[in-house]
Amino acid sequence: MKILMLTPYLPYPLHSGGQIRSYNLLKKLSARHQITLFALIKDDSERQYLPQLEKFCTKIRVFKRTFSPWHPKNILRAGFTLYPFVVTRNLVNETLEAVREEIAADKYDLIHAETFYMMPNIPKTSIPVILVEQTIEYLGYLNYASKNRFLPLKPFFWVDIFKIKWWEKHYWRTCNRLITMSEDDKEFIKSICPDARPIDVVANGVDTQWFDQVKKRLPPHPTLLFIGTFKWLPNVEAVDFLVGQVWPLIKKSVPGARLWIVGNSPTEKVFGYERSDPTIKVTGNIPDIRDAYSQAHILVAPVFSGKGTRYKILEAMATGTPAVATSIALEGFGIIPGRHALIADTAPEMADTIIRLLQDKKTQALLAKNGKEFVASRYDWKSISAKLDSVYQAVGRSQR
């Protein structure tokens, strides 16, 4: 099949969950389909990564959006149009015209849009459109706005959240097929938007063989790992909770313990944690994420908002790293608490769970073994890409 894929990022390097997902799906599906990639970039330096993607794509075009999301153009568009900020910061005028020209000049079997905020770049067309929702966007903003204490900004948050929800539901209804990351997300969408298009679940995955190439080399001091891109609000909330409420309790009980925070685009506040506490280390764009997992005793994922599935959980299990996470962080995987990972939803509970796990080598080993087996059997990219391919084929058959 001939497919036009639209992504709000270049799917390389692999710094975010979205990039990891798109890259691996391109890699696996390129043997069966001809894929043209239209992607947004923030800086011309990203063009150096195009050769990594040209191996899997028949054609690639990139379109430059503003480097900072807070560019006045994005803010004004959000303020004076019906689009929310998450759309305006990913809106590049040239993209819509380029898509129109591309589908007029060549015969495509389907269009694959990664995230709802790429949908405004697709003109009215008879070509079937598959929309992939990596997360339910308005929920993350809703949680952040409800906890934000700066009252003058509250009205702007709520207006923008209303617009995000309206456009998400609009595109859930107008695409030809909708894909979510988990059954939980699927059922949630059906509950708030009963007239959404048919929904398939194509979860996130991991390259289990690639992760298995790097073995554990644990440091002498107990090390906790937090991973997450800081452009995503739930991760900002999670690291604040971990450092402010959980870490002080662990330090008191575990002499020599270390916390390693790894993630794309750390804020000044996150770097400040390292400056004010010698037991905390902050690393931005780590060249090989496997190095982080190989040196961590436990992954901590205190996520309290957002939908989708979290790569950090799958990657931790693929590397034999026991995970302690909130219920929300683990939802949608089919994980059995106590067998594949441990759940804790309050600061004292999380601290106590981590402390006990650090002292229990037998449970660490059991979680590591069970987690690796679980991921290999259910979340390897080979099986995940096969599910997406079956959706492609179904949409193609219905069109014919």
Amino acid at 240: D
The token pair that represents 59 in the structure block: 């054609």
d(CA 221, CA 260): 12
CA-based nearest residue to 228, from 15, 30, 376: 15
Q: In the chain, what are the domains?
A: 2-205+381-399 (3.40.50.2000), 208-378 (3.40.50.2000)
The pLDDT-based confidence of 150 (bands split at 50, 70, 90) is low
Tokens 């568009």 — which residue? 77
User: In a 3-state reduction of DSSP, which class is residue 172?
Assistant: helix
Residue 161 CA to residue 40 CA, distance in Å, equals: 23
Indicate if the pLDDT at residue 309 is higher than 90: no
Mean pLDDT of 312-328: 95
Q: How many percent of the chain have pLDDT more than 70?
A: 98
Q: Which of 242, 261, 239 is CA-nearest to residue 354? A: 242
Residue with tokens 């990639």: 37
Q: Are strands 223-227 and 298-301 parallel, antiparallel or unpaired?
A: parallel
For every residue of 288-321, DSSP letters joined together read -HHHHHHT-SEEEE---S--S--HHHHHHHHTT-
Mean pLDDT to the nearest integer, 174-178: 97
Average pLDDT over residues 308-337: 90
Which of 144-148, 305-309, 363-367 holds the top average pLDDT?
363-367
User: For residue 388, what is the enclosing H or E element?
Assistant: helix 381-399
Q: What is the dihedral of CA 186, 394, 134, 4, to 10 degrees?
A: -160
* Rounded Cα gap, residues 243 and 36, in angstroms: 43
Mean pLDDT of 246-269: 95
Query: What pTM was estimated for this model as a whole?
Result: 0.83
- 162 CB-near residues (< 8 Å, 6+ apart): none
* C-alpha closest to that of 130 among 3, 23, 309, 1: 3
Please say if the pLDDT value at position 306 is more than 80.
Answer: no
Closest-CA residue to 381 (of 1, 55, 20): 20
At residue 286, the 3 state secondary structure works out as: coil
Quickly state the pLDDT bin for 149 (edges 50, 70, 90): low
Report whether the peptide linkage leading into residue 13 is cis, meaning its omega lies within 30 degrees of zero. Answer: yes
pLDDT tens for residues 66-121?
988 889 999 999 998 999 999 999 999 899 999 999 999 999 999 999 999 999 99
d(CA 307, CA 274): 29
Residue pLDDT, tens place only, 284-293: 888 899 999 9
Whole-number mean pLDDT of the chain?
A: 93
Alpha carbon distance 174, 56 (integer Å):
29
Q: What is the pLDDT of residue 358?
A: 97
Give residue 231's pLDDT band: very low, low, confident or very high (50, 70, 90): confident
pLDDT band at 157 (very low <50, low <70, confident <90, very high): confident
| Angle between the N-to-C axes of helices 137-147 and 154-174, in degrees from 0 to 180, rounded to the nearest 10 | 170
H or E element that contains 102: helix 93-105
pLDDT category of residue 273 using cuts at 50, 70 and 90: very high
180-198 residue pLDDT tens: 998 989 999 999 999 999 9
Question: Residue 308's pLDDT is what?
Answer: 54
- Gap between the Cα atoms of 282 and 263, Å rounded: 8
Highest averaged pLDDT of the listed ranges 80-84, 143-147, 226-230, 353-357: 353-357
Given a cut of 90, whether residue 39 has pLDDT beyond it is yes
Q: DSSP letter at 324?
A: E
What is the distance between the alpha carbons of residues 74 and 81, in angstroms, rounded to a whole number?
10
Q: Is the pLDDT of residue 321 over 80?
A: yes
Sequence-distant (≥ 6) Cβ neighbours of residue 240 within 8 angstroms: 269
What per-residue string of b and e applies to 171-202 under the rule 16 or more CB within 10 Å gives b? Answer: bbeebbbbbbbbebbbebbeeebeebbebbbb
pLDDT at 152 over 80: no
